[in-house]
Structure 1
Amino acid sequence: MTRERGLATRLLMLRRFSTAFAALCLSATPAQAALTRAEQAMVRTIDAEQARTTSMLERWVDQNSGTMNVAGVRAVRDLVDPEFKVLGFTTEWIDMKAAGRAGHLVARHNGSKASKRLLLIAHLDTVFEPDSPFQRWERQGDMARGPGGGDDKGGIAVIVAALRAMKAAGTLDRANITVFLTGDEEDSGNPITIARRDLIAEGKKADAALDFEDLAQDDGQNGPVDLGSIARRSAGSWTVKVTGRSAHSSGIGNPGVGYGAIYELARILDTFRRELPDDKLTYNVGLIGGGQSADLDEGRIRLQATGKTNIVAATAVARGDLRAISQEQIERTRAKMRAIVAQSLPGAKAEISFDEDGYPPMPPTAGNRALLGRLNAVNRDMGLAEMTELDPAKRGAGDISFVAADVDGLVGLGPGSVGSHTPNEAVNVPSIFKQAKRAAILMSRLAAEPRSGR
């Protein structure tokens, strides 16, 4: 089955089950005796404001905010900013011109000094630039197609709906919440030390981090099954460059000539394939070329090569990515890759380099798992199924990883969606409200707890 057919099939399944599933969630939620009065009030507020929330999200989606569209990202900021101010948040725009990007919107609510500090993470940008034909919101029953409807304007809609419910129920008053909306999650600015400097600083102050990217789901017998996400893998790049002895092809393999750059690069990559496998580790080759010349462009995403069939290749280049679940796994794998590269065939010499501007890993920890336990307590009280852990190999890298070394976190508090990063991207609209209820109750309970001395 092609990717397009697979996405279409899942979209059809979500449409088929979303109405019944949403009705079940909405009818079960308010009646749960396990919810406090304030929590029941939050549920009612979110239900009452469904039309408002949906209309708000539609306006955001219709404003292009591709990462490189600096004006567009700022325009979405201007739409989002008042939603926080009306709730008593102070907002700040952190300009990221120094990193070649628009900037980040930060909204802060100061409650009781003794209460836990929560960091909410989402992003303003999408992968769809102004030249993309995919630009507008289109409602199709319970599903709505649109750039960023799920990733991640839908996540921001969940945040706003949850905070409005907390305000109405009075649980926002004592809460210490910082909302950090990056403007370059889909294509981070450079250097990364500047682009993520302020997010890292907020993570050091927080007691819990909640990431509002797409809800993780599996296809169940009766429709999508919600999963909890407590880990994300890293995302980093590597480059292998090889030089060989240029000579007439009739001498290939002879002692004075050797095997040339392309054979050596092929040896390296195939050895990676055979010798690097490890749990949760992936290593992809995304760009390759070789010949008499092989030149990468400045952005290292294009390669121009020249050569002839009767000349032994003088140079070869390959670039790829490396995704791991822990820093230890990254270092161990890099050491293996360096050792493989060093065992060059006669007549060739290779070197490998690793980019240092990637995304770090968010390994599964006891603290993250405890947060999922807190979310599952909310699920039980709402009459929803408990969420098992998502395999982190099924999820890409994300901004929460930059704070993972300093604070416990949860991923995937945004809405359910399909087709992320494709023109088939569609958000399950009822899931926005379900996720907002989960988030509002979870944040209210966490905010009622004292800090542990951090």
Structure 2
Amino acid sequence: MRLVLAALLLFALPTAAAAQSNPAEQTMMQTVQSEHDRHIALLERMVNQNSGSLNLPGVRAVGDMVRTELEPLGFEVSWVDMAETGRAGHLIARHPGSGRNVLLIGHLDTVFEADNPFQRFERTGSRATGPGVGDDKGGVVVIIAALRAMQAAGTLQDANITIVLTGDEERIGAPVAIARQDLIAAGREAAFALEFENLAVEDENDFGTIARRSSANWTLTTTGRTGHSSGVFNDNLGYGAIYEMARILDGFRRELPEPNLTYNVGVIGGGTPAAIDAEGFSVTASGKTNIVASTAVARGDLRTLTAEQDARIRAGMQAIVDAHLPRTDAELVFGESGYPPMAPTEGNRALLARLNAVNRDLGLPEMAEYDPARRGAADSGFVAADVDTLGGLGVAGGNAHADGEWVDLDSLVRQSQRAAVLISRLSLGQP
């Protein structure tokens, strides 16, 4: 019966796969396909366990599910507690081998907390919906499916692999230096890094992610002299906090634009008085039309493609802030939490070329570079300065971070096949 199944699966492979991939790689292809239902069931169990970033027991429970999958494959699995950052922790797994170290990156948490009504996995044909089904539980299942295929083919035995699955990717703990110290250390030890966030797909074409923009938060507070509105603009009262705020934000809009840069304003308020809450989400303000505003507060984000661009734009923002209207002041503060950019490098492009060699040999479509302005930030940004990195190796889907998040379950097959062969070749030094 097993021989018949293997023959049928081999027959189902693309002609290019049978012609150009070696027997071990054909076994990987067949194993992923034959275990497809198993991995869908695993994905369902993971999705049905809520693991919002602030649901610490839920994040740990998903980590336990992954541990159960990895330990039988020969991985040494540990849990790094992150109580000091206010988060559950991270799962780190190591498979020592003689090959070059390949770091696999994903995350256990989702944006959907326990009180969100969107909680269950549902399947209709090859489409499944559920909280975190793509971001990033689908990516974690791709990792597991690829490793199981490698074990079946014998390529896992000598592979040198480290897995870091963070428990707070969607809402990173503080301080960041502690929250990401283990991931950064793993990146410095690795020869290659592969990140398993959602696959980029447009017009039914798969794309490779060689770059991601950063994500940083900033808070702008402006102040001015307050008094009767009849004196606004005069030498005594000046322009007030709201006009100073408007000047600065419009200066950002007019003076800073360039490719791969955005700086959104998410919340704003001004009056006498005005204040923002400790979480930076809610602004309260009150005032009267005949009183010059004393305070204004705005909070937004900054996204850049390279460290150089990030430093230059921050300096440009500060220069605009410093050109005060009469009798006003302003302070721009960048938050400590945030994600550094994953800049496009020749090393990253070389990794995509290696993936496209896999695609050619397996009879899968080649993947062009995806526009980084269309991608969000990810944990890969924390390692990209130290190691060649390729992102977006998870499943294809849509509506991430929203009710109705969905994935194409068929993509789980091709992504796991791609990953199994790529990881094997990278670690074992094959072309």
TM-score interval for Structure 1 and Structure 2 normalised by the shorter chain:
over 0.9
1:156-235 matches, within 5 Å, as: 156-219=140-203, 224-235=204-215
Which amino acid in structure 2 is aligned with residue 84 of structure 1?
L
Alignment partners' CA distance in 2, 1:358 and 1:420: 19
1:428 pairs, out of 405, 408, 411, with: 408
Alignment partners' CA distance in 1, 2:295 and 2:282: 16
Alignment partners' CA distance in 2, 1:90 and 1:387: 33
Does the CA-based 8 Å contact 1:30-1:43 persist in structure 2?
Answer: no
Q: Deviations over 1:355-410 (max 9, x none)?
A: 23211111000100000000000111111221110011100000011011110010
- Scaled by the length of structure 1, what TM-score is found? 0.91
Q: Deviations over 1:167-222 (max 9, x none)?
A: 00000011000111000000000000010011001111000000001001112xxx
Does the CA-based 8 Å contact 2:216-2:338 persist in structure 1?
Answer: yes
Which residue in 1 is equivalent to 2:6?
A: none
Which residue in 1 is equivalent to 2:78?
A: 92
Which amino acid in structure 2 is aligned with residue 232 of structure 1?
R
Which residue in 2 is equivalent to 1:135?
A: 119
Alignment partners' CA distance in 2, 1:59 and 1:356: 35
Q: Would you say 1:44 and 2:30 are equivalent positions?
A: yes
Which amino acid in structure 2 is aligned with residue 177 of structure 1?
I
CA separation of 1:28 and 1:311: change in aligned 2, threshold 3 A: same
Alignment partners' CA distance in 2, 1:349 and 1:77: 48
Which amino acid in structure 2 is aligned with residue 280 of structure 1?
N
Deviation beyond 6 Å, 4+ runs, structure 1 = none
Deviates more, 1:380-389 or 1:190-199: 380-389
Alignment partners' CA distance in 1, 2:48 and 2:201: 26
Which amino acid in structure 2 is aligned with residue 58 of structure 1?
E
Alignment partners' CA distance in 1, 2:66 and 2:311: 40
Which residue in 2 is equivalent to 1:4?
A: none
Does the CA-based 8 Å contact 2:213-2:372 persist in structure 1?
Answer: yes
1:402 pairs, out of 361, 382, 387, with: 382
SS at match of 1:289: strand
Which residue in 2 is equivalent to 1:17?
A: none
Q: Deviations over 1:32-55 (max 9, x none)?
A: 311000000111111110111111
Alignment partners' CA distance in 2, 1:31 and 1:255: 78
Which residue in 1 is equivalent to 2:321?
A: 341
SS at match of 2:92: strand
Q: Deviations over 1:57-113 (max 9, x none)?
A: 11111000000000100111111111000101110000000100000001110111x
Deviates more, 1:244-253 or 1:58-67: 244-253
Count the aligned residue pairs.
421
Does the CA-based 8 Å contact 1:241-1:350 persist in structure 2?
Answer: yes
Does the CA-based 8 Å contact 2:126-2:410 persist in structure 1?
Answer: yes
Which residue in 1 is equivalent to 2:391?
A: 411
**1:308 offset after TM fit, Å?**
0.9
Q: Would you say 1:380 and 2:360 are equivalent positions?
A: yes
Which residue in 2 is equivalent to 1:328?
A: 308
1:16-27 matches, within 5 Å, as: 27=13
Q: Would you say 1:313 and 2:299 are equivalent positions?
A: no
SS at match of 1:422: coil
Q: Would you say 1:61 and 2:41 are equivalent positions?
A: no
Does the CA-based 8 Å contact 1:29-1:43 persist in structure 2?
Answer: no
Alignment partners' CA distance in 2, 1:263 and 1:50: 60
- The sequence identity of aligned pairs, in percent, is 59
Q: Would you say 1:126 and 2:110 are equivalent positions?
A: yes
1:340-379 matches, within 5 Å, as: 340-379=320-359
Does the CA-based 8 Å contact 2:222-2:297 persist in structure 1?
Answer: yes
2:263 pairs, out of 259, 271, 283, with: 283
Alignment partners' CA distance in 1, 2:143 and 2:216: 29
Which residue in 2 is equivalent to 1:437?
A: 417
SS at match of 1:356: strand
Alignment partners' CA distance in 2, 1:31 and 1:178: 28
Alignment partners' CA distance in 2, 1:30 and 1:76: 38
SS at match of 2:288: coil
**1:148 offset after TM fit, Å?**
1.1
Alignment partners' CA distance in 1, 2:364 and 2:67: 32
2:226 pairs, out of 246, 261, 265, with: 246
Q: Would you say 1:155 and 2:135 are equivalent positions?
A: no
Does the CA-based 8 Å contact 1:30-1:40 persist in structure 2?
Answer: no
CA separation of 1:26 and 1:70: change in aligned 2, threshold 3 A: farther
Q: Which runs of 5+ in 1 are unaligned?
A: 1-22
SS at match of 1:105: strand
Q: Deviations over 1:13-37 (max 9, x none)?
A: xxxxxxxxxx9x9642785311000
SS at match of 1:354: strand
CA separation of 1:368 and 1:155: change in aligned 2, threshold 3 A: same
Does the CA-based 8 Å contact 1:30-1:44 persist in structure 2?
Answer: no
Which residue in 1 is equivalent to 2:101?
A: 117
Deviates more, 1:75-84 or 1:204-213: 75-84
**1:349 offset after TM fit, Å?**
1.2
Does the CA-based 8 Å contact 2:17-2:361 persist in structure 1?
Answer: no
Q: Which runs of 5+ in 2 are unaligned?
A: 1-8
Which amino acid in structure 1 is aligned with residue 60 of structure 2?
R
SS at match of 2:220: strand
- Scaled by the length of structure 2, what TM-score is found? 0.96
Does the CA-based 8 Å contact 2:16-2:360 persist in structure 1?
Answer: no
Does the CA-based 8 Å contact 2:104-2:196 persist in structure 1?
Answer: yes
Alignment partners' CA distance in 2, 1:330 and 1:103: 29
CA-atom RMSD in angstroms: 1.4
Q: Deviations over 1:264-310 (max 9, x none)?
A: 10010011001000110100101111100111111111111121111
SS at match of 2:79: strand
Does the CA-based 8 Å contact 2:261-2:305 persist in structure 1?
Answer: yes
Which amino acid in structure 2 is aligned with residue 285 of structure 1?
V
Does the CA-based 8 Å contact 1:359-1:402 persist in structure 2?
Answer: yes
